[in-house]
Amino acid sequence: MSTYVVGDIQGCYKPLKKLLKKINFLKSKDQLWCVGDLINRGPNSLDTLRFLQDMDQSVRIVLGNHDLHFLAIHEGCAPPRTKDTLSELLKAKDCDLLSDWLRKKSLAHYGTVETKNGMENFLMVHAGVAPMWSLQKTLSLAAEVELSLQSETYKIFLKNMYGDRPIRWHDKLQGYERLRTITNYLTRIRFCDEAGSLRLDVKEGLNAAPEGCKPWYEFENISKVATILFGHWAALDGETGKPKVHALDTGYVWGREMTLMCLEDYQRYSITN
């Protein structure tokens, strides 16, 4: 059995299939971890979700900002955006089933894999974590959002998850401000300052770092106790310079590559656009 983690798919179903064929992936024995943003911006969101749902026992998924955005549109909690490519999915007869399946997925996945260096702990999130969060705190806070998404009042959360404020985590945050802030760290973070204040307006590469800010992974974080796997930030081109922080989004939907990494030996595989 091998465990692979793949970067943002974003509805690029055919390249995903080619990449899995390239590594001889077998859903009967292998596992595929997905860092989120399964859908949107690419051409085949519907086929992507159907494919992943069909192999549900072999996949581990964390939700990305595009996945949450789809859920909000589907439930009438937010309008579609100009660049969305979700029309076919939203019109599909099985859209309700796919939406319910997706809504029950995690925002953070923790697992242990036997690698070439021995047993290793991995944390998978879509975008990143706050500098001040421990591993247990990250999983606990992610679970708060997951419980809200799976509750009878999930539509209220979806209506209230949009927005850039509060910009900083505080343990005393309550209600939907608390849930929104957790969601922004896990699914949208790129740059922050030492106190964890988010700069969600800056989406470019490292040269665009605002004054006083760095990439979130440059601050002390939980990579001491768990290797972090994330996507979201295609401008990094898969490079962090940190041996225990792995960026997997290499921008296939923007004309570059789709990347997959084997956790057992850290070998990367990719296909070009």
Domain count, the chain: 1
Token representation of residue 207 = 């040269």
DSSP state of 168: S
The pLDDT of residue 160: 98
Judge contact between 190 and 210, C-beta under 8 A. Answer: no
Look at residue 221 in the predicted model and tell me its pLDDT. 80
Question: What's at 68, amino acid-wise?
Answer: L
3-state DSSP percent of the chain in helix, strand and coil, to 5: 35, 20, 45
Q: Give the span between the Cα atoms of 140 and 248, in whole angstroms.
A: 24
Residue-level pLDDT at 222: 87
Q: Taking residues 11-15, what's their average pLDDT? A: 98
| CATH (domain of 75) | 3.60.21.10
* pLDDT score of 8: 98
Residue numbers of the domain that contains 159: 3-272
Find the helix or strand (DSSP H, E) in which 159 lies.
Answer: helix 154-160
Tokens standing for 167?
Answer: 């910009």
User: Taking Cα atoms as reference points, which of 256, 129, 241, 242 lies closest to residue 190?
Assistant: 129
Structure tokens at 201: 């307006």
Q: What percent of the chain has pLDDT over 90?
A: 96
Separation CA 189–CA 187 (nearest Å)? 6
pLDDT in tens, 105-140: 999 999 999 998 899 999 999 999 999 999 999 999
Q: Report CA Rg, the chain.
A: 17
Tell me, yes or no, if the pTM score tops 0.95.
Answer: yes
6 vs 269: CA distance, rounded Å: 9
What are the pLDDT digits (tens) for 166-191? Answer: 999 999 999 999 999 999 999 999 99
Is residue 49 within 8 A of residue 39, CB to CB? The reply is: yes
**pLDDT score of 89 more than 90:** yes
pLDDT over threshold 90, residue 241 = yes
pLDDT in tens, 25-71: 999 999 999 999 999 999 999 999 999 999 999 999 999 999 999 99
What pLDDT does 207 receive? 94
pLDDT band at 212 (very low <50, low <70, confident <90, very high): very high
- Rounded CA-CA distance 69/123 in Å is 23
Strands of 257-262's sheet, edge to edge? 59-61, 31-34, 3-6, 257-262, 268-272
Contact (CB, 8 A) for 44 and 12: yes
User: What is the pLDDT of the chain when averaged over all its residues?
Assistant: 97
